[in-house]
Chains A and B, each alone.
Chain A
Amino acid sequence: AQDYHFGLEEGEGISELFDCN
């Protein structure tokens, strides 16, 4: 996964992406 460009910020995860917070 080192090659993959992770774009989520420190405080972001799947919950934010689906507006659950």
Chain B
Amino acid sequence: LPQTPVRAAMNNIQQLIMILNSATDKPSDTLITYFNNCTVNPQDSILKRVESFHHIFKKKFAEAVGQGWAETGAQRYRLGVRLYYRVMESMLKSEEERLSVQNFSTLLNDNIFHTSLLACAVEVVMATYGRNASQSDGTSAETDLSFPWILNVFDLKAFDFYKVIESFIRAEPSLTREMIKHLERCEHRILESLAWQSGSPLFDLIKQSKEREGQTDQPETTST
């Protein structure tokens, strides 16, 4: 059959669901081993965070699309959680190999790392369903759930989201070319504009690097 944009999107959706069917809603045994190797075991905080964002995402999705679609939002979030655990495991395996380390206590107890990784996973699911595909399940075409909507849902700074994108792409080989292109567009949008909004952690990094270099002049404020 000729490939139409809707059919292509549906294929992507089916591919994502197929990949995530074998993934679990809970941390795998391998992940639990990493958690147990930590100086401070992060498992409880990870499970509480996933549960907390489940309610937040479901509510925000329903507010954006309509109260009748709350369960659809919950279903998409659950797919995102599966991808989150799958990518986290892959990341830790590659870091263990690269650093010859098994205690990832600092990273796995970093709230921003987990929030960014989870947001990126849910963004992949949302982008896969996309605007056209979302019409196929009846959500209104006027509701723009495309990036950076996800940053508002997770109350996440754009630059913190940016920090996980490349490692996410490295860790998940089954991402489609379209999805990698989407994440790359997110990166560009963040670096070109979103990361320069007031309150961005990027300004702190610039300041710290200047201080480290012994320079005292302040970074330009966005207003300038």
Contact = CB atoms under 8 A, between A and B. Distances in A.
Interface of A: 1, 3-8, 13-15, 17-21
B210 interface: no
Across the A-B interface, the 9 shortest Cβ-Cβ residue pairs: A14-B167, A20-B106, A20-B107, A17-B163, A18-B113, A4-B180, A18-B110, A14-B91, A15-B95
Given A3-B177, A18-B112, A18-B113, A13 B106 contact: no
A5 B184 contact: yes
A3 B181 contact: yes
A3 B183 CA distance: 12
Given A3-B181, A14-B107, A14-B164, 11 more contacts: A1-B175, A4-B184, A13-B95, A15-B95, A15-B99, A15-B107, A17-B163, A17-B167, A18-B106, A18-B107, A18-B112
Contact of B166 (A7, A15, A19): A7
A15 B94 CA distance: 11
Nearest to A5: B184
A19 B94 CA distance: 17
A13 to B, nearest CB: 6
